[in-house]
Amino acid sequence: MNVIETIELTKRYGKRVVVDQLSLTVGKGEVFGFLGPNGAGKTTTIAMLLGLVKPTKGRALVLGHDVQHEPSLALRRVGAMIEAPAFYPYLSGADNLRVLARAGGIATERVAQVLDIVELRDRARDKVATYSQGMKQRLAIAAALLPDPELIMLDEPTNGLDPAGTVEIRNLIRNLAAGGRTILLCSHLLHEVEQLCQRVAIMKEGKLIAAGDVAHLLRRGQGVRARVQGDPGPAVRLLKALNWVASVTVQGDTILIDAPVERTAEINKLLIKADIVVTEIGASNSSLEEFFLTVTRSDT
């Protein structure tokens, strides 16, 4: 069963298309990375999935229900944290959660449970105005956990956190995922996404430009990298002429060759034969970060 399904979901503000015919699915129990540069349309998509922003066209289904037509059913077991944590500064952490619990018809006993999960019990009676950014972030996750959610949407959950706080939140997400919940994770920390997510979707300027298993996408990004002395132009021209080389790009002083890693020695030999001095050559083990940068840069 798909926990999230969007069908040609589109949001326009005037002539500006913020989300353009987005169709994607997230299955039950998945930890799904939702990536893209700033302004790609990720937050707007999440807001549409939560019924906060009305789509111009298309549909958003959450837990099998249309968010626009059956919002209560769709969002009953959904927890979300969008961008910066938002709370009533004059209320304590626990009271903020009580307000949300009451609004959603959730038993207030659940407040103590979620405060335990995010380890905020000791400061629960203090006003939110006195909380650090990390504590607010944890309280926002506690708020997302209130309805004992099947689906959790986390938009930049480690924003503004120090390294220790980031690790803490990452472990928390890992624990939540281990409990069989579906998690939609938006983050600029791609190393974090690579560690946590099984599948990712990458958006750019409102469009879905890549989606699939993390392992599969990374395999796609594998190839050969080489450095040559002087102008890389002749080397690029030589490599581009080979029919088993899919593409050649230059990043700084490095030539990235989309070709089977087994042919590294052959590439080296060809370059030397053409009087090109190779200073370094080897397999490029693409990280999600590299893959992300490649697809978001190349597709403009």
Partner 1 sequence: MDTRAMFTNLLAAEWMKISRRPMALLLLGIFLALTALQQTLWFLVVALQEGTFSSSNVTFTILSEAAIEQVKRQLSLPGVFGAMLSAINGTGGILAIILTAGFFGSDFNWGTLRVLLTRAPHRGIYLLAKLAALQLALLVAMVITIVVGTLLSLMFGSILGLSQQIDAIAFLLLPVGMLRALLVMLPYTLIAAASAIVGRSVIAGVGGGLIFLAFDVSAGSLNTIGAVDPLIRALVNLLLQPNINRLIVDNSQMFGLNQSVLTPALDLNLLPSSWQAIGLIVIYSAIFGYSAYRTLSRQDIGGAN
Which residues in this chain contact partner 1 in the complex, by CB under 8 A? Answer: 47, 50-54, 71-72, 75, 78, 80, 82-84, 86-91, 95, 98-100, 102-106, 143, 146-147
In this structure, which amino acid lies at residue 254?
T
- Cβ-based nearer residue to partner 1, 23 or 88: 88
Q: How far is the CB of 143 from partner 1 (least distance, A)?
A: 6
- Cβ-based nearer residue to partner 1, 132 or 251: 132
What is the DSSP code (8-state) at residue 56? S
User: Which residues fall within 8 angstroms of residue 85, CB to CB, at 6 or more apart?
Assistant: 136, 137, 139, 140
Residue 239 to residue 278: CA distance in whole angstroms:
13
Q: How far is the CB of 160 from partner 1 (least distance, A)?
A: 14
Most distant pair of Cα atoms in the chain: their distance: 75
- Cβ-based nearer residue to partner 1, 127 or 227: 127
SS3 content of the chain, % helix, strand, coil (to 5): 40, 30, 30
**Do residues 208 and 24 lie in contact, with contact meaning Cβ atoms separated by under 8 Å?**
yes
- Record the tokens describing residue 105, joined without a space: 């018809």
- Cβ-based nearer residue to partner 1, 102 or 174: 102
- Cβ-based nearer residue to partner 1, 58 or 234: 58
Q: How far is the CB of 76 from partner 1 (least distance, A)?
A: 8
Which among 106, 101, 5 is positioned nearest to 49, based on CA atoms? 5
- Cβ-based nearer residue to partner 1, 88 or 274: 88
Residue 298 to residue 249: CA distance in whole angstroms:
10
Q: How far is the CB of 178 from partner 1 (least distance, A)?
A: 24
- Cβ-based nearer residue to partner 1, 91 or 270: 91
Strand, helix or coil for residue 15: coil
Q: How far is the CB of 232 from partner 1 (least distance, A)?
A: 45
Q: How far is the CB of 100 from partner 1 (least distance, A)?
A: 5
The CB-side HSE value for 121 (13 A sphere, CA atoms) comes to: 7
Residue 160 to residue 163: CA distance in whole angstroms:
10
**Do residues 98 and 143 lie in contact, with contact meaning Cβ atoms separated by under 8 Å?**
no
Q: How far is the CB of 207 from partner 1 (least distance, A)?
A: 20
